[in-house]
Structures are given as C-alpha cells and as structure tokens.
C-alpha cells in the first residue's frame, strides 16, 4: 500500500505527476482564455460586499449568532425549537450556511436546525495558515459546537466537503451522531481505493484537486470576474440572483478563498488515507449520477465502511442537487428519517 496518494515528491507519488501537470495546465488554460477573451480588467474585477443580502436575513431561516468554540468563533444560524432533536448542517465548497436554505425551511418545524459557516468560510473565523485546517480541527469544531449548543447528539447532514467531514466525524464520535445524511460525498475509503488503484476516470475528474495544491493561481481562478464561478455553479435549479449574491458575499470576505482552499491543501491529504469507518450511525447517501467531478464507481461497495447504509441515486442530478432539486432531496430525507 502506498502512502498519501497526492504527495508529489514521494517515489510512488511520481505516478501522479501527470495529473499535477494536467491540473496545472487545465487551470492555466482557463486563466489564459479568460485573459484573452475577457481581459485583465474583467479577471481582477471584484465587487465590495459589506452587508449580507436580504435573503440571508430571512427570519424563516433562523437567527444569526456568533459562537466561540475553543479558539475559534463560528457564525451560526439556528431555527426551530431548541428542545427538538438537533439537525446540524455542514456545507460544501465554495459555499456557506445558506446552501441549506431549502432544507432549513423544510425541517425546522420538527427539528432544531443549525447551519453554520465552517472555519475559513463566510463570517466564521478564518486563520490563514493551512495548518489550521486539518481533520482534528474541522471535526473538533463540530464536537465543541454541539456541546456549546446544549446537545449531546444530532442528525448530521453534510454536502461535498461537509459530507466528507461528516463521514469522519461519525467515525470519531459515533455517540454524537444519531443519523448521518451525506449528499454527494464519497466515503474516504472509496476515494483512497480509487486513487491507489490509479483509476484514471476519477483521477481525470479530480484535476482541480491537484491544481488547488498550487499557490496563488487557484485563488485567481476562483475569484476572477467577480467570482463568476458561482454564477455558473448556481445556474441550475431555482437559484435567484440574490441567492448568488449570498454566496459571493460569503466567499468575497477577506482571505476566504485561500482559507477555504486550505481544506484541499491540508485535510484532503488526510482524507485520502481512508481511515474512517461509520460503524453505528444509520446513514443515507444521496448520490447524483451526473456529478461532473465524481465517478459513480465511488459509490460501489460503500456499505463495507458504513454497514447501516441506504443509497438513493438521483438520476441526472448534479453537484448541488440539494439546491437544484430541493423537493426531491427533502422528500428522500423525510422518508429516511421517518424509518
């Protein structure tokens, strides 16, 4: 067995050199095309956003507060009766608490819904160094947040990076997870297996993971054209211009592009070691079959690492399926939670 599969300078990691080069070239081609067809003024255009868009202040989504857990302060939005079971939401990249707006509205009558900006994102603290974005810190934030919020356990719901962290948290703290809902996040063991077997279709799709290891250029790619990536990412589904402004508000805060990229520059290396097993928590995995970055083979055999697993495949679903098809996702969650 090899070690960390994306360590460029290890002997076995030399196999991945072409994919680092692929990421480097693909990222730079995108930047070069933007420079040629849009121009430098467009690339470096950034709008100043000092205030939350009105949609983020919707009282149906909850009350904003800032909660200090150990050495970091998290921006938290909570709704519903605190006496009800806790449903805790973990967002993906490059998003914020607001990505769960459709689920919050659907579940806050029955649950105490808490969605928060994870460290390095949105209005939460964002220490700059990547050393602050290891799995110990990311899962530790959740552990301490539950304690501060007065809950011993929760229904944990995660998408993308939030789902990856959810897998790991349920492995580390099984007594704190009543049920786990993961949206479009493969189990770390499956990622590890496919990377270590040199599964080319997934490696090709993961070009951006390699590109994100570089300094400076990923920040430029993600922020160019006033964060135009978010416009393209949110085009599908019922997203409004104000919804997109909400995500741009979160990502455009000082340093947030770098601190969110630090998830890839630190925690991703630990995830690829594939160490987490979800032995106790009943788990629902909602999987989009048309996800541009995740091969469907990542789902096969996941029950070996999460024995109490239910998989719901969403045909033609894409990365942001919980926002693109909220009624479908909410229905799958309600059906599962009622069992």
- What's the Cα-to-Cα distance from 150 to each of 56, 67, 108, rounded to whole Å? 25, 12, 17
Q: Please give the chain's pLDDT, 339 residues, in tens.
A: 334 444 443 434 566 788 889 999 999 999 999 999 999 999 999 999 999 999 999 999 999 999 999 899 999 999 999 999 999 999 999 999 999 999 999 999 999 999 999 999 999 999 999 999 999 999 999 999 999 999 999 999 999 999 999 999 999 999 999 999 999 999 988 888 887 777 889 888 999 999 999 999 999 999 999 999 999 888 777 899 999 999 999 999 999 999 999 999 998 877 766 556 777 899 999 999 999 999 999 999 999 999 999 999 999 889 999 999 999 999 999 999 998
* pLDDT tens column, 140-192: 999 999 999 999 999 999 999 999 999 999 999 999 999 999 999 999 888 88
The two structure tokens encoding residue 28: 């730079």
CA dihedral defined by 135, 138, 140, 141, rounded to 10 degrees? 180
Residue-level pLDDT at 110: 98
Between CA 118 and CA 76 the distance in angstroms is 9
Residue-level pLDDT at 34: 97
Nearest CA among 107, 135, 133, 139 for reference residue 121: 133
SS3 294: coil
Residue that is written with structure tokens 């220490």 in the block = 127
CA dihedral defined by 102, 103, 108, 114, rounded to 10 degrees? -110
Q: What DSSP string describes 116-159? A: EPPTTSTTS---SSGGG-SHHHHHHHHHHHHHHHT-S-EEEEEE
Between CA 82 and CA 114 the distance in angstroms is 10
Residue-level pLDDT at 62: 98
Q: In the chain, helix, strand, coil percent, each to 5?
A: 50, 15, 35
Our CA angle for 31, 204, 171, nearest 5°, is 110
The two structure tokens encoding residue 118: 């994870």
Where would I find the H helices in the chain? 17-37, 40-43, 101-107, 135-149, 161-172, 188-196, 200-205, 207-211, 217-233, 241-251, 256-262, 268-271, 321-324, 326-337
Question: 21: Cβ–Cβ under 8 A, 6 or more apart, which residues?
Answer: none
Helix axes 217-233, 241-251, angle to 10 degrees: 160
Question: 186: Cβ–Cβ under 8 A, 6 or more apart, which residues?
Answer: 164, 294, 298, 299, 302
Query: What phi and psi, each to the nearest 5 degrees, are found at residue 121?
Result: -125, 150
Task: Determine the topology of domain 12-337 in CATH.
Answer: Rossmann fold (3.40.50)
The two structure tokens encoding residue 187: 């189990």
């Amino acid at each position: 067995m090899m070690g960390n599969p994306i360590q460029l300078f290890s002997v076995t990691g030399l196999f991945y050199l072409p994919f680092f080069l692929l990421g480097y070239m693909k990222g730079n081609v995108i930047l070069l095309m933007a420079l040629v067809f849009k121009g430098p003024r467009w690339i470096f255009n950034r709008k100043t956003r000092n205030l939350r868009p009105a949609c983020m202040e919707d009282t149906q989504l909850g009350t904003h507060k800032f909660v200090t857990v150990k050495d970091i302060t998290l921006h938290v939005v909570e709704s519903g009766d605190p006496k009800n079971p806790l449903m805790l939401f973990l967002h993906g990249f490059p998003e914020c608490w607001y990505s769960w707006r459709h689920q919050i509205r659907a579940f806050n009558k029955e649950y105490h819904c808490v969605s928060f900006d994870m460290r390095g994102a949105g209005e939460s603290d964002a220490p700059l160094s990547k050393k602050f974005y290891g799995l110990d810190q990311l899962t530790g934030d959740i552990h301490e947040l539950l304690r501060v919020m007065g809950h011993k356990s929760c229904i944990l719901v995660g998408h993308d990076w939030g789902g990856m962290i959810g897998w790991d948290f349920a492995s580390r703290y099984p007594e704190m997870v009543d049920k786990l809902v993961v949206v479009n996040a493969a189990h770390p063991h499956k990622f590890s297996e496919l990377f270590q077997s040199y599964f080319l279709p997934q490696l090709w799709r993961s070009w951006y993971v390699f590109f994100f290891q570089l300094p400076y250029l990923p920040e430029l790619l993600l922020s160019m054209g006033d964060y135009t990536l978010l416009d393209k990412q949110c085009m599908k589904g019922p997203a409004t211009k104000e919804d997109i402004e909400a995500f741009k508000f979160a990502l455009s805060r000082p340093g947030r592009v770098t601190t969110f990229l630090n998830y890839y520059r630190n925690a991703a290396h630990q995830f690829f070691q594939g160490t987490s097993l979800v032995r106790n928590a009943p788990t629902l995995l909602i999987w989009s079959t048309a996800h541009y970055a995740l091969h469907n083979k990542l789902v096969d055999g996941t029950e070996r690492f999460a024995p109490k697993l239910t998989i719901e495949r969403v045909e033609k679903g894409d990365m942001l399926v919980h926002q693109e098809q909220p009624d479908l996702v909410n229905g799958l969650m309600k059906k599962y939670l009622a069992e």
